[in-house]
Structures are given as structure tokens and as C-alpha cells.
Amino acid sequence: MELNFLLHFLAELAANNNTVWMAAHRSEYQRARAACTELVREVLAQAAANDPDLANLTTSDVMFRLHKNDRAHRDPEPYKRRMGAGLKRGGRHAARAGYFLAIQPDGRSWLGAGTFHPTPELLVAIRQEIHYSSDEFHRLRQAPELVRYFPMGLDRTGPQLTRPPRGYAASDPDLAWLRLKTFGIGRFYTDAEVLAPGFVQQVVAGIAAARPLVDFFNAAIPDAGPLQA
């Protein structure tokens, strides 16, 4: 797969992020998109062997568009500076936890796991799961295999409530976690790591390491039962 070309195209896009440039380089975009599609297809195929939630997904189900659909009024750039996918049952926009792969130059390629934009319903369910199963939650987020691939652990620097969520006491020992509005882990890859022969295997191993924590979050969802045959 042409990951070197993918990184090169995205670097050029970052320097020329406008529709005129894109129109003139449409064939290069298609070549870069094909390289990313091949990467995502291979990651899906290998990761699905150990996670049935990823079985039967296609690249069309999981890959994000390059165009910014929700571009802020002040943002002059019409395109994202990365290409990637949201790997989870139901596809990239499903209201559940999953895995996220993004390719971006200059060491910004990224693998994430969890839920970074949970619906209010999912957020309530995850907080309840943490409250009811606190010991399991802490065991999973501190698991040696998880920390090996995601040394920073579960992110506590993102958006969070200033007060305890409704129904929880200020003295709750897990309050620091219950106040979070997002539950995710992540790690970056250098360009050299992306281009190394074992990159796909590294990503798949990271997904496997994160799966127990992702499963914990998804167990909180009432309809998150096993896939039907």
C-alpha cells in the first residue's frame, strides 16, 4: 500500500487546503484515498479475527469523508488534514465505543479507542457502569497490555463537568472519572512508524489491547448485545 504517497498528499493538502487546489489534484486525491482504503481494509480484516463487533464491516461503513461537513464559520479550510476511519459495529457514526485510526503527516497519525463524542444517553450509561463496576473499570483502564500500547491511559484532560453529574455525590471516590464528558485513550505514530513494515500489526495489536475497555463501555448500552447470525 502506498502510505508514503498518502502522507505526501496530506502534507501537500495541508499547504493548499482549498477547493481550487483539490480540483486540480483530483487524481492524486483518489490515489491517496485508495492507499488509505487499503490500509483500513487490512486493519479491519485482521482486527475482526479477534473482535466479532468488527466482522462484516466494509471500508465504506467506517471511513470518514475528507470534506468537513460541520466546518465552523471561521474555518477557511474545507478539508480535514487527515484521512481515517471509525471502526465499530454499526459504522463510523454508531452511538457506541470503538476504535479510530487517522493518518496525518508530521507524527500526527493516531490510534484511539473508546468514545470521544458520546451521546447524552451513552454518557449516562457509561457513568452508571463505572459507578456500579468501579473495581472492574479501574482494573481495565490500568491493565498492563493497555498501558503498553497507550502509555497515557484514559484521557482526563478533555471536557468535563465542573460539578458532580446528576445523581452522584460530591464525595463519590470516582468523581474525577464520572465528571468526564468523553472516555477515550489514544497514541500517536511517527511517520517512520507508519511506513514501517509492521504498522498494520501494531495497529491491530493496539486494538486488541483496548478491546476489554471498549467492551466495558459498550456493555453499558442496553442494545449492545452480541451480533445476530
What single-letter DSSP state applies at residue 167?
T
Mean pLDDT throughout 69-80?
Answer: 75
Q: If you search the block for the grid coordinates 476504535, which residue do you land on?
A: 99
Q: Quick check: 103 and 39 in contact, CB under 8 A?
A: yes
Q: Please enumerate in sequence order all residues whose Cβ is within 8 A of that of 163, keeping only pairs 6 or more positions apart, or say none.
A: 170, 179
3-state secondary structure of 223: coil
Residues 189, 209: Cα–Cα separation, whole Å: 16
Which domain covers residue 25, as residue numbers?
3-219
* pLDDT tens column, 7-42: 999 999 999 999 999 999 999 999 999 999 999 999
Range scoring the smallest mean pLDDT among 1-15, 72-86, 103-117: 72-86
113 belongs to a structural domain: yes
57 belongs to a structural domain: yes
229 belongs to a structural domain: no
Which segments of the chain are extended strands (E)? 83-87, 98-103, 109-115, 183-189
pLDDT at position 226: 40
pLDDT exceeds cutoff 70 at 211: yes
pLDDT at position 225: 44
Q: Of 36, 34, 35, 87, which is closest to residue 204 (Cα–Cα)?
A: 87
pLDDT at position 223: 63
Mean pLDDT throughout 55-72?
Answer: 88
82 belongs to a structural domain: yes
228 belongs to a structural domain: no
The total number of structural domains that make up the chain:
1
pLDDT class for 69, splitting at 50, 70, 90? confident
* pLDDT tens column, 124-178: 999 999 999 999 999 999 999 999 999 999 999 999 999 999 999 999 999 999 9
Q: State the cell numbers at 195.
A: 511506513
* pTM for the structure as a whole: 0.92
Q: With helix as H, strand as E and coil as C, how does 173-202 read?
A: CCHHHHCECCEEEEEEECHHHHHCCCHHHH
Q: If you search the block for the grid coordinates 484532560, which residue do you land on?
A: 157
Handedness of CA 73, 75, 80, 82 (dihedral sign): negative
Q: Which tops the pLDDT comparison, 222 or 155?
A: 155
pLDDT at position 50: 87
Q: State the cell numbers at 2.
A: 502506498
Q: State the cell numbers at 124.
A: 449516562
pLDDT at position 194: 98
Residues 9, 38: Cα–Cα separation, whole Å: 16
3-state DSSP helix/strand/coil % of the chain, to nearest 5: 45, 15, 40
Q: If you search the block for the grid coordinates 487517522, which residue do you land on?
A: 102
15 belongs to a structural domain: yes
pLDDT class for 227, splitting at 50, 70, 90? very low
224 belongs to a structural domain: no
pLDDT at position 36: 98
pLDDT at position 70: 65
65 belongs to a structural domain: yes
Q: How far is CA 7 from the centre of its chain?
A: 19
